[in-house]
């Protein structure tokens, strides 16, 4: 039985390992940290359970399809609930728009905000559905190793209809003029790591995912997905070893032979790197075996990093929904300070999640579990003083919106930013989400999933195809499992 070593037990690493084990390989995952999940790890403190990273459960069909590939169901591992309202958007003056679950309710809301927009919303969603069906079920499953994958009359027709050469900002303004609606529709682009002006209109598929397929939550927290994936991987025979910092890959005649960690040496017939792509090339493989030099990486447009706060509060907080987006400041200014003139934002937008509104298990009785996130430029100087400055800025606005004091009720507080992303995940420039989904960083223009100088070495995860986010990471892992298997047989 051929041995495959997978570096990293994040979503893509677990997916690759499970896919390979299902095909008959002897698979071992070497994980740097003390638990699986990568950015989706979890920790407990003072009776609170905090998901450390992803908090939005979108594209439920991709999770369903993942487990179905192994004759399982998501319900075998966790219970999903659909959030209604899906989330709240807080605008200037603390005006709040709660987005209801269901297209009929959304159409009525849009019509109320801008006359005639209800019908336009239906047409927008119809086009977005096509982009979702083609983009998610066809394009993202292409390994993007050769232009020949995309050369067919049907695919060229699909490319035109996907609007890959038109910006999301221009596309959305064909349907709506109301500023509030535009903000609601452009918000998912934040998750793609670029401005609406620099993101292809194809990504209206995210609006379809959000508004048609819904916003969900796995009871117990997002880490329940990881626990389910780990249970499935181990059922397939995958061995997961923790606290294994990979230091070197031994290569003979262009073939990876061994993986060396801080604890031991592991023989391999093939290696899959689910760790940070740049770190693997720079620190583990070294100059002779890199696909890309430093100049290449420095020219990449990175998605934002994040400043996060995990708060345990000893009382319930009024007005908060499970998901709350504070767009009460200038979106364009914040985007400028991420992408054009990178610096700490002068008037940050932020996201507040209160999973305890939905799930009583994540906080002691009568308490609130709060997760705060500011999207910020990668590679900024990250100090304790800077974190505290933004904590006060956020809490001032949160307390004003909720109409109650919060800071004096905080019984647990932890911050997380660039330094932590680098320390825990070796994240390039302290990024949180990977590469921005710009046109020039799509498909064949992303870092390739196969090492060009090592026959049996592959990459998976948010810095290669298909891109950032939890569902794309699942797909990335399965893609690599298929590609490796084809070349190993």
Write out the two tokens for 434.
């990977």
Q: What pLDDT shows up at residue 187?
A: 84
> Cβ distance 355 to 217 under 8 Å?
yes
Q: Is 60 exceeded by the pLDDT of residue 24?
A: yes
Q: Is 293 exposed, middle or buried (0-12, 13-18, 19+ CB in 10 A)?
A: exposed
Q: Is 80 exceeded by the pLDDT of residue 158?
A: no
Q: What pLDDT shows up at residue 335?
A: 87
As a whole number, mean pLDDT of residues 11-34 equals: 98
Q: Which of 470, 469, 464, 467 is nearest to 483 (CA)?
A: 464
The tens digit of pLDDT for each residue in 363-408 reads: 999 999 999 999 999 999 999 999 999 999 999 999 999 999 999 9
**Apex CA 335: angle with CA 330 and CA 341, to 5°?**
115
As a whole number, mean pLDDT of residues 190-200 equals: 77
Q: Please give the CATH architecture assigned to the domain spanning 3-38+220-300+435-488.
A: 3-Layer(bba) Sandwich (3.50)
pLDDT band at 326 (very low <50, low <70, confident <90, very high): very high
Average confidence score pLDDT of the chain? 95
Residues of the chain with CATH 3.50.50.60: 3-38+220-300+435-488
Q: 110 - beta bridge partners?
A: none
The tens digit of pLDDT for each residue in 447-481 reads: 999 999 999 999 999 999 999 999 999 999 999 99
Q: Is 70 exceeded by the pLDDT of residue 297?
A: yes
> Dmax of the chain from CA atoms?
68
Q: What pLDDT shows up at residue 191?
A: 56
> Cβ distance 334 to 375 under 8 Å?
yes
Write out the two tokens for 105.
């309710």
Write out the two tokens for 234.
């181990």
Q: Which of 109-123, 145-159, 284-298 has the lowest mean pLDDT?
A: 145-159
Q: Quote the distance between the C-alpha of residue 155 and its chain's center.
A: 27
The tens digit of pLDDT for each residue in 161-185 reads: 778 889 999 999 999 999 999 999 9
């Amino acid at each position: 039985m051929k041995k495959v070593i997978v570096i990293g037990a994040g979503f893509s690493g677990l997916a690759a390992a499970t896919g390979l084990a299902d095909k008959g390989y002897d698979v071992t995952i070497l994980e740097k940290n003390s638990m699986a999940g990568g950015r989706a790890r979890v920790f407990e403190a003072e009776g609170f359970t905090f998901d450390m990273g992803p908090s939005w459960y979108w594209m439920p069909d991709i999770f369903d399809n993942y487990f179905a590939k192994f004759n399982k169901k998501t319900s075998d591992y966790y219970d999903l609930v659909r959030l209604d309202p899906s989330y709240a958007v807080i605008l200037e003056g603390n005006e709040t728009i709660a987005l209801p679950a269901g297209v009929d309710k959304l159409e009525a809301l849009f019509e109320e905000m801008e006359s005639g927009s209800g019908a336009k919303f239906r047409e927008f969603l119809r086009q977005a559905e096509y982009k979702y069906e083609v983009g998610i079920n066809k394009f993202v499953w292409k390994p993007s190793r050769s232009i020949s994958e995309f050369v067919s009359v049907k695919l060229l027709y699909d490319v035109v209809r996907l609007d890959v050469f038109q910006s999301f900002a221009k596309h959305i303004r064909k349907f709506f003029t109301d500023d509030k609606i535009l903000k609601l529709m452009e918000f998912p682009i934040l998750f793609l790591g670029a401005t609406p002006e620099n993101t292809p209109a194809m990504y209206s598929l995210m609006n379809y995912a959000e508004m048609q397929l819904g916003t969900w939550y796995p009871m117990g927290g997002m880490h329940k997905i990881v626990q389910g994936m780990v249970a499935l991987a181990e059922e397939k025979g995958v061995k997961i070893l923790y606290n294994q910092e990979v230091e070197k890959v031994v290569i003979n005649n262009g073939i990876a032979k061994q993986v060396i960690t801080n604890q031991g040496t592991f023989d391999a017939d093939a290696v899959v790197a689910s760790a940070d792509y740049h770190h693997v090339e720079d620190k583990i493989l070294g100059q002779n075996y890199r696909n890309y030099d430093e100049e290449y990486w420095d020219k990449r447009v990175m998605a934002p990093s994040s400043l996060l706060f995990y708060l345990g509060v000893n009382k319930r907080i009024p007005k908060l929904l499970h998901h709350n987006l504070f767009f009460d400041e200038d979106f364009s200014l914040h985007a400028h300070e991420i992408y054009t003139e990178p610096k700490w934002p002068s008037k940050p937008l932020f996201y507040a999640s209160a999973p305890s509104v939905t799930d009583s298990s994540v906080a002691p009785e009568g308490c609130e579990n709060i997760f705060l996130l500011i999207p910020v430029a990668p590679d900024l100087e990250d100090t304790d003083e800077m974190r505290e400055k933004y904590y006060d800025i956020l809490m001032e606005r949160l307390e004003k919106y909720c109409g109650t004091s919060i800071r004096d009720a905080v019984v647990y507080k932890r911050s997380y930013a660039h330094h932590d992303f680098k320390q825990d995940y070796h994240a390039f420039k302290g990024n949180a989400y990977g590469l921005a989904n710009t046109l020039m960083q799509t498909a064949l223009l992303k870092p390739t999933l196969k090492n060009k100088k090592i026959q049996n070495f592959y990459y998976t995860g948010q810095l290669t195809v298909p891109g950032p986010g939890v569902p794309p990471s699942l797909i990335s892992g399965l893609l690599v499992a298929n590609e490796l298997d084809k070349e190993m047989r």
